Amino acid sequence: MQEILGALVFWVATWATTSHFPFLPDAAKKWVVAEMAPGRQWQEASLDTIWQLWLIDEIPMTVGQHIVHLSGETHAVAVCEVIVTAHSFVGLGKLSTATLRNFENDKTVLRRTETAAPDMPTSATLKTHATGENLNAVTSKAHTTINIRVPRIVGQYMYWPPSGKSVKRLRKLHEEGKPVSFENVEGSNILRAWTQS
């Protein structure tokens, strides 16, 4: 077993803006229908739909701006801007190779190579990439790259859909009159996007 340089790339989708229109401005574009249950707010429906599109790769893991067009049952429409960023950690992983040989003629019958991702400490600092070229410059040096789609999107104040703990932190900040921001609610550890309760 030998050590190799490996990269973990975390892909994050951030809801940036939503613009609303009372009509469909361009029927030629691809529109996604947001489920608008009675009493449901546009922002909540937009975030749910963007999150679902992110999970099924309709919003690709490509650094940059992505535009999502939404329409509701009332024929109102929204144009949402989503920014996708990549955050990388590069460290030492492991490479192991196993070979099966035919002893009669000493020829290789089967070769199996396995790579293991680098162990990322929970306190690791991730490098944020503003462009695909910047990301490629880092990952091209690694022997193996593992792409990880963060399972929730970044909303205005918390990951969406929100966890119970995030909602409690948000309420507490409001009650204490403290400033509310994504950093104050979720912190800087990207692993919090996997919190379920």
197 confidence band (pLDDT: 50, 70, 90)? low
Write out the residue range of the structural domain in which residue 163 sits: 157-197
Any domain includes 95: yes
Tokens read off for 76: 């109102």
- Cα 69 to chain centroid, rounded: 19
Helix (H) or strand (E) holding 55: helix 42-55
Tell me which of 50 and 40 has the higher pLDDT.
50
Encode pLDDT of 8-26 as tens digits.
Answer: 899 999 998 877 777 665 5
Closest CA to 146 of 4, 22, 6: 6
Any domain includes 174: yes
Q: Is 137 found in the same domain as 95?
A: yes
The number of folded domains in the chain is 2
Q: Across 22-45, where does the E strand assignment appear?
A: 32-33
36 confidence band (pLDDT: 50, 70, 90)? low
Any domain includes 148: no
Cα-based distances in Å from 91 to 74, 86, 118, 133, 145:
51, 16, 5, 20, 11
| Phi, psi values for residue 50, rounded to 5° | -60, -45
Question: What mean pLDDT comes out for the span 48-62?
Answer: 91
